[in-house]
Amino acid sequence: MSASVIERPASAAPSTGAPRRARQGVALAVIAGCNAMIQLDDPIMNIALPGIRADLGLSALAASWVIGAYLLAFGGLLLLGGRAGDVLGRRRVFVAGVALFTAAAAVRAAVPSGELLIAVRAVEGAGAACAAANGFVLMLSTFAEGPARKRAIAVCTAVGAASTAGGLLLAGALTSAGSWRWVLLLNVPMGLTIVLLAPRVIAETERIRGRFDLRGALLSALGAAALVYGLSQAAEHPWSDVLVAGSLLTALVLLSAFVGTQRRAAEPIVRLALFRD
C-alpha cells in the first residue's frame, strides 16, 4: 500500500479524568460488552422466533430468512467493515456499527410485518459486522502486548460465552412473562451505553488514507453471503441439493475472484502478504 498516506488520529480519548488503568478497565467493559451484545442476539432471536411467527403469520421460509438475513449481511460485510476502519478510523466505525445495530434492535421490536423484520435484520447484521470487525483491533490498540492484553482477551472471550448461556435463560424468562417484542429490546440499553462510553475511553486509531476497493468489496460481500447461505441450507438439505451446491460453487468462484483482485489491487481490503509471513 505504497500509495497510502497514514494520518494521525484527529481525536482520542481524553487524557484528563480517570487514571489510565481505570479508563482501560472501562474500555475493556465497552469492547467486551459489544461482544456480549452480538453473541446475545442469537439466543434472543431463537427464543423469540416462535412468538414472532405466530403474531406476524410467518411461513417457515420467511422465519428462516429472519435469521438468514442477519447472517448474510454480517458475513458479507465483515471484511468491508474492517477496511472501513482502516480508512475512517476504527473507533469511529465501531461506534457507528454499534449505533446501527442498536437502532435496528429497537426497530425490530415494533415491526408490523415479516418483510420489514427481515429488512431490519439485514441492517442489524451490517451494524454487527462493522462493530465486530473493529472491536478486537481496538482492544489490541488499548492494551499493550503482554499480560494485560492476554487478560483482556480472556475476559472478552469469557463474557461472550457467558452472554450466550445467560441470554437463553433471560430471553426464555421474558418470553414466558411477556411479549417477544420486549425480548428483542434486551440489547438496546447495552448498545446505547457502549455508544456513549466508547468515544470517552477508547482512543481513535491511525487512519490509512486511501480508497475503497469497490470491486473487491463487492466480490467479498457476495462471496461470503453465498457461502453463508449455502452452509445454512446444508443444515436442512443434502449437499447435492441444487441450492446448496449452486451457492457453494458460486461462493468458490466469487471468493477466488476476490483473491485475484487483492493480488493486483494497489489498496487491497486484505493484504495477502500477511498470510505468507
CATH, residue 137 = 1.20.1250.20
125 belongs to a structural domain: yes
Instruction: Give CA–CA dist 141/149, Å, rounded.
Output: 9
Residues 216 and 171 in one domain: no
**Residue at which a domain ends, from 151, 176, 210:** 210
DSSP 8-state code for residue 13: -
Residues 128 and 192 in one domain: yes
8-12, 140-144, 171-175, 189-193: which is most confident: 189-193
Residues 73 and 165 in one domain: yes
Residues 64 and 172 in one domain: yes
38 belongs to a structural domain: yes
Confidence tier at 5 by pLDDT (50, 70, 90):
very low
156 belongs to a structural domain: yes
DSSP 8-state code for residue 206: P
**Residue at which a domain ends, from 188, 210, 232:** 210
Confidence tier at 265 by pLDDT (50, 70, 90):
confident
Residues 247 and 263 in one domain: yes
Does residue 205 have a pLDDT over 80? yes
Helix 114-142 to helix 147-177 angle (10° resolution) is: 160
Contacts made by residues 107-112, CB under 8 angstroms, sequence distance 24+: 108/184, 109/181, 109/182, 109/184, 109/185, 110/181, 111/56, 112/56
Residues 126 and 200 in one domain: yes
124 belongs to a structural domain: yes
**Residue at which a domain ends, from 195, 210, 225:** 210
Residues 60 and 92 in one domain: yes
Number of structural domains in the chain: 2
Residues 273 and 176 in one domain: no
12 belongs to a structural domain: no
Q: Which residue has the higher pLDDT, 16 or 226?
A: 226
Residues 58 and 82 in one domain: yes
Confidence tier at 101 by pLDDT (50, 70, 90):
very high
> Global pTM?
0.80
Does residue 114 have a pLDDT over 80? yes
Does residue 6 have a pLDDT over 50? no
Instruction: Give CA–CA dist 40/173, Å, rounded.
Output: 14
| Cβ neighbours for 62, distance < 8 A, ≥ 6 positions apart | 114, 118
**Contact yes or no for 203/63 (Cβ under 8 A):** no
9 belongs to a structural domain: no
Instruction: Give CA–CA dist 90/13, Å, rounded.
Output: 13
Structural domain containing residue 254: 212-277
Residues 182 and 224 in one domain: no
Instruction: Give CA–CA dist 9/203, Å, rounded.
Output: 9
2 belongs to a structural domain: no
Residues 205 and 216 in one domain: no
Residues 155 and 268 in one domain: no
- How many other C-beta atoms lie within 10 A of the C-beta of residue 190? 18
7 belongs to a structural domain: no
* Continuous H helices in the chain: 20-56, 60-88, 90-108, 114-142, 147-177, 180-183, 187-201, 214-234, 242-264
